[in-house]
């Protein structure tokens, strides 16, 4: 399993760059992918000649330990255990400049695709794939050249333009990024020492960003960058350039990868260790002593998704009049399964976000922060790689319990939250229903009934016709469509087609929350639109 996962983790920055270029390019995703690949490789390979690694002096050079780990074999030999050793950073030069505060953090340089390059974590890929590539494609996709160069006009010139455009960025990165990276690493490790305050505000802010869709970017900053912690910096005082029983004798540059920075990646990397304990202590307990709280910015999701939100849905269900519970069940039951199994919470959250906004922005967001705080104080360590469903809990928490995950606190905290959520949601919606006027069904003249539309007809009618949508895209749980005329959209038909909630971003972009079937629905609708235009 490790041999399958490690290549993906090591290629994570490139994959992130590609995904952002696709997400922010409205048309011609193929060109965006090709440009992002070439640009990213140009970016990292251009930096390689400007990074100098000094000779190994007091660092880890050879493995002298054959009968267990010991640090008493001299300065130039040490033990191969789990992680990479911290080489003395005084020998590191970036852009032919040493010291000046540019080499305080060993993780600043990483080896990627065979070359030594700056470790820009998720920030480099986001800027290249999410900002530079979309801008260049929009500006130069229709560029015209003289007749003798006409073959390279338009899209054929874009890969060259994008590749050349990252060269100034690479130079600026070599000049300024070491200071920025150092600040991020120290800030991330300082935040981790806040005794749980950081986890509360992380859970609170992440949930408040759900309506905007930017919660993924916010979480990624802490899951996959040194803002979520830097292992090598945390162990630097223990090591001091010499051997530490946590560290490996191999050169840190040769094996260093982004998996050593960021809360989610640190936790997942720790799960791959071939041993369950270090110096007679479980891995996560040993890390905790070094102020490395793996999983602290992810595990707070589990009590919310497996206990709190299902209890909230149950409270909403029983608050309805018995005759209306069957209708409410159609929306709530799929939402519960999504939250419980996959960790996708939007179907339930959007069922009350606009109905009773205070429940979401005041109660639910605060309780999410509290869940993160309680899980952190309990000493649990449950990493996550996707969202926080029961499948991830079993794989990352239950199975590796011998590593010190202490997953069982999830059930204790979740049970308490479930009681609170059921009570609050039941009485809040009970009060809401009593304040709503009783709806009466209109009587059609002559007893005639309007023929029911099929699901596809409801989608077409609700969107104002296929030609009213200029761009079909989706994420994990939402359809993200660009709309020509907002007035042509019939929201009631969209609700009948299965849309859980509708969010407008301006007058020309709509987000339709449909749950985990977003990809399937978007494919079906885009095919119908293309068929109607052919």
pLDDT of residue 470: 86
pLDDT of residue 67: 44
Q: What is the pLDDT of residues 240-267, one digit of tens each?
A: 333 344 444 334 444 445 567 889 888 8
Is the CB of residue 479 less than 8 Å from the CB of residue 517? no
pLDDT of residue 163: 92
* All structural domains of the chain with their residue ranges: 2-54+83-192, 194-228+262-435, 455-533
CA separation for the pair 462, 439 (Å, rounded): 22
CA separation for the pair 357, 455 (Å, rounded): 30
CA separation for the pair 436, 249 (Å, rounded): 69
> Per residue in 113-151, is it b (16+ CB within 10 Å) or e — as a string?
eeebbbbbbbbbbbbbbbebbbebbeeebeeeeeeeeee
From residue 411, alpha-carbon distances to 1, 301, 418 in Å are 28, 12, 10
Q: Most distant CA pair in the chain: distance in Å? A: 98
pLDDT of residue 248: 41
* H or E element that contains 158: helix 158-191
Q: Is the model's pLDDT at 272 over the cut of 80?
A: no
Q: Which stretch of 82-96, 308-322, 383-397, 460-474 has the lowest confidence by average pLDDT?
A: 82-96
Query: What would the DSSP string read from start to end of 398-462?
Result: ITTGGGT--TTHHHHHHHHHHHHHHHHHHHHHHHHHHHSPPP-PPPPGGG--PPPPPHHHHHHHH
Q: Which stretch of 206-220, 429-443, 463-477, 495-509 has the lowest confidence by average pLDDT?
A: 429-443
Q: Residue range 469-474: average pLDDT? A: 85
CA separation for the pair 93, 513 (Å, rounded): 50
Q: What is the mean pLDDT of the chain?
A: 80
Q: Residue range 286-303: average pLDDT? A: 88
Which residue did the predictor score with more confidence, 335 or 9? 335
Sheet holding 478-483, edge to edge: 469-474, 478-483, 509-513, 501-504
In this prediction, what percent of the chain has a pLDDT beyond 70?
81
Which residue did the predictor score with more confidence, 34 or 1? 34
Q: What is the pLDDT of residues 19-58, one digit of tens each?
A: 999 888 877 888 899 999 999 999 999 998 888 765 544 4
pLDDT of residue 5: 61
CA separation for the pair 309, 417 (Å, rounded): 9
Q: What is the pLDDT of residues 514-525, one digit of tens each?
A: 877 888 888 888
* H or E element that contains 41: helix 29-47
CA separation for the pair 84, 341 (Å, rounded): 36
Q: What is the pLDDT of residues 95-105, one digit of tens each?
A: 666 666 666 67
Active-site residue, selected from the candidate residues 64, 71, 80, 475: 475
- Spatial neighbors of 421 by CB under 8 A, at least 6 apart, are 307, 308, 309, 311, 312, 315, 367
pLDDT of residue 413: 96
Q: Which stretch of 194-198, 405-409, 472-476 has the lowest confidence by average pLDDT?
A: 472-476
Q: Does domain 455-533 have CATH number 3.30.70.270?
A: no
CA separation for the pair 219, 202 (Å, rounded): 8
pLDDT of residue 68: 43
How many C-beta atoms lie closer than 10 Å to residue 343's C-beta? 22
Q: What is the pLDDT of residues 193-214, one digit of tens each?
A: 888 899 999 999 999 998 887 8
pLDDT of residue 251: 41
475 flagged as catalytic: yes
Q: What is the pTM of this model?
A: 0.80
Which residue did the predictor score with more confidence, 243 or 323? 323
């Amino acid at each position: 399993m490790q041999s399958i996962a490690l290549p993906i983790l090591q290629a994570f920055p490139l994959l992130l760059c590609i995904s952002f270029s696709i997400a922010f390019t409205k048309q011609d995703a193929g060109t965006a992918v090709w440009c992002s690949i070439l640009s990213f490789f140009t970016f990292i390979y251009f930096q390689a000649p400007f990074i100098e690694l000094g000779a190994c002096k007091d660092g880890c050079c050879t493995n002298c330990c054959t009968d267990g780990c010991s640090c008493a074999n001299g300065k130039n030999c040490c033990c191969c255990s789990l992680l990479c050793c911290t080489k003395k950073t005084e020998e590191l030069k970036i852009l032919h400049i040493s010291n000046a505060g540019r080499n305080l953090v060993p993780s600043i340089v990483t080896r990627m695709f065979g070359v030594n390059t700056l470790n820009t974590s998720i920030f480099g890929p986001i800027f290249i794939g999410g900002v530079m590539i979309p801008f260049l494609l929009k500006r130069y996709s229709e560029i015209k050249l003289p007749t003798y160069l006409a073959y390279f006009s338009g899209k054929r010139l874009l890969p060259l333009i994008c590749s050349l455009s990252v060269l100034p960025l690479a130079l600026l990165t070599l000049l300024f990024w070491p200071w920025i990276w150092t600040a991020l690493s120290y800030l991330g490790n300082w935040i981790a020492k806040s005794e749980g305050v950081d986890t509360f505000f992380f859970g609170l802010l992440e949930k408040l960003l759900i309506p905007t869709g930017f919660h993924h970017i916010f979480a990624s900053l802490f899951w996959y960058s040194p803002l979520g912690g830097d292992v090598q910096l945390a162990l630097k005082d223990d090591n001091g350039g010499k051997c530490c029983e946590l560290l490996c004798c191999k050169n840190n540059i040769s094996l260093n990868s982004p998996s050593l920075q960021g809360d989610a990646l640190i936790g997942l990397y720790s799960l791959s260790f071939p041993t369950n304990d270090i110096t007679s202590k479980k891995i996560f307990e040993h890390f905790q002593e070094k102020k490395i709280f793996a999983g602290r910015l992810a595990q707070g999701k589990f009590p919310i998704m497996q206990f709190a939100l299902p209890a909230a849905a149950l409270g909403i269900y029983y608050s309805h009049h018995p005759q209306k519970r069957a209708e409410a069940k159609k929306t709530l039951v799929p939402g519960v399964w999504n939250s419980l199994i996959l960790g996708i919470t939007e179907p339930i959250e959007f069922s009350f976000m606009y109905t009773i906004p205070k429940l979401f922005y005041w109660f639910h967001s605060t309780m999410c922060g509290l869940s993160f705080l309680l899980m952190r104080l309990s000493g649990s360590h449950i990493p996550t790689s996707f969202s926080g469903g029961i499948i991830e809990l079993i794989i990352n928490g239950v199975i590796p319990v011998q590593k010190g995950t202490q997953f069982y606190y999830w059930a204790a905290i979740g049970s308490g939250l479930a009681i609170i959520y059921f009570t609050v949601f039941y009485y809040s919606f009970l009060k809401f229903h009593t304040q709503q006027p009783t709806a009466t069904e209109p009587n059609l003249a002559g007893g005639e009934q309007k023929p029911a539309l099929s699901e596809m007809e409801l989608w077409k009618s609700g969107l104002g016709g296929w030609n009213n949508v200029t761009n079909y895209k989706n994420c994990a749980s939402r359809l993200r469509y660009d709309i020509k005329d907002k007035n042509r959209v019939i929201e009631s038909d969209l609700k009948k087609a299965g849309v859980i909630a509708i969010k407008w971003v301006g007058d020309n972009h709509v987000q339709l929350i449909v749950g985990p079937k977003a990809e399937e629905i978007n494919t079906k609708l885009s095919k119908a639109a293309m068929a109607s235009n052919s």
